[in-house]
Chains A and B, each alone.
Chain A
Amino acid sequence: MSTSSITNRSRELLADVSPAWFALALALVVATVAGFAHQPGLFVTQAVGGLVYGAILVLITLGLSLILGLMGVVNFAHGALFMLGAYLSYSVVVAWGLPFWTALLVAPILVGVVGVLIEVTVLRRLYGSEPIVGLLATFGLTMMLDEAIRYHWGTTPLGYAKPEVLRQSVDLGITQVASFRLFMVAVATLVVAAVYVLISRTDFGLTVRAGVQDGEMTEFVGVNLPVRFTAMFFLGSAIAALAGVLQAAEYGVNSQMGQTFLILAFVVVVVGGVGSLFGSVVAGILIGEANYLAPVILAGLAEYTGIAALNISGIRGLVPYLVMLFILLVRPRGLFGEEGLLE
Chain B
Amino acid sequence: MSTDDTTDAPADESTTSTDADGRAERSQVESEAQETPPSTVLQVDGLDAGYETGQVLFDVDVDVREGELVSLLGRNGAGKSTTLRALMGADEPTVLDGDVRYRGTSIRDWQPYKRANAGIALVPEKRRCFPRLSVVENVRLAINHATDPMALDDVLALFPELDDMRQKHARNMSGGEQQMLAIARALAANPDLMLLDEPFEGLAPYIVRRIEDIIADINAEQGITVFFVEQNVAAALAIADRHYVLDEGRIVDTVTSDRLREDDEFRQTYLGV
Are A222 and B189 touching (Cβ within 8 A)? yes
Q: A190-246: which have CB < 8 Å to B?
A: 202-204, 206-207, 209-210, 213-214, 216-225, 227
Q: A216-B90, A216-B112 are in contact. Are A204 and B141 (CB under 8 A)?
A: no
A163 an interface residue at 8 Å Cβ cutoff? no
Residues of B within 8 A of A204 (CB): 14
Q: B8-53: which have CB < 8 Å to A?
A: 12, 14-15, 17-18, 21-22
* Stretch of B68-76, B126-134, B202-210, B264-272 with 4 or more beta carbons under 8 angstroms from chain A: B126-134
B15 contact from A203, A216, A219, Cβ within 8 A:
A203
CA distance A219 to B90 in the complex (A): 9
Q: B147-177: which have CB < 8 Å to A?
A: none
* Stretch of B116-124, B224-232, B242-250 with 4 or more beta carbons under 8 angstroms from chain A: B116-124
Are A338 and B132 touching (Cβ within 8 A)? yes
CA distance A209 to B131 in the complex (A): 10
Q: A128-B91, A203-B15, A206-B144 are in contact. Are A220 and B116 (CB under 8 A)?
A: yes
CA distance A217 to B18 in the complex (A): 16
A336 to chain B, nearest CB (A): 13
A204 to chain B, nearest CB (A): 5
Residues of B within 8 A of A219 (CB): 111-113, 116
B137 an interface residue at 8 Å Cβ cutoff? yes
Query: In terms of DSSP, what is the predominant structure of the interface of chain A?
Result: helix
CA distance A230 to B216 in the complex (A): 41
Are B14 and A203 touching (Cβ within 8 A)? yes
Closest A residue to B185 by beta carbon equals A221
A80 to chain B, nearest CB (A): 29
A218 contact from B14, B21, B91, B141, Cβ within 8 A:
B141
Are B140 and A206 touching (Cβ within 8 A)? yes
B145 an interface residue at 8 Å Cβ cutoff? yes
CA distance A13 to B125 in the complex (A): 40
Are B113 and A206 touching (Cβ within 8 A)? no
A226 to chain B, nearest CB (A): 8
Are B22 and A210 touching (Cβ within 8 A)? no
Residues of A within 8 A of B144 (CB): 203, 206-207
B75 to chain A, nearest CB (A): 25
Residues of A within 8 A of B145 (CB): 207, 221-223
Are A217 and B128 touching (Cβ within 8 A)? yes
Are B128 and A210 touching (Cβ within 8 A)? no
Residues of B within 8 A of A206 (CB): 133, 137, 140-141, 144
Are B18 and A210 touching (Cβ within 8 A)? no
Q: A159-184: which have CB < 8 Å to B?
A: none
Are B128 and A222 touching (Cβ within 8 A)? no
B181 to chain A, nearest CB (A): 12
Interface centre among A206, A210, A338 (most CB of B within 10 A): A206
Interface centre among B88, B137, B145 (most CB of A within 10 A): B145
Are B113 and A213 touching (Cβ within 8 A)? no
B130 contact from A128, A202, A213, A225, Cβ within 8 A:
A213
B61 to chain A, nearest CB (A): 24
Closest B residue to A226 by beta carbon equals B111
Residues of A within 8 A of B18 (CB): 222-224, 227
List, sorted by A's number, 15 A–B pairs whose CB atoms are closer than 8 Å. Answer: A128-B91, A206-B133, A206-B141, A207-B145, A209-B130, A209-B133, A210-B130, A210-B133, A210-B141, A214-B130, A220-B88, A220-B124, A221-B189, A223-B113, A224-B111
Known contacts A204-B14, A214-B128; 17 additional CB pairs below 8 A are: A128-B91, A206-B137, A210-B137, A210-B141, A213-B131, A216-B112, A217-B128, A218-B130, A219-B113, A219-B116, A220-B88, A220-B113, A220-B122, A221-B121, A222-B18, A224-B18, A224-B21
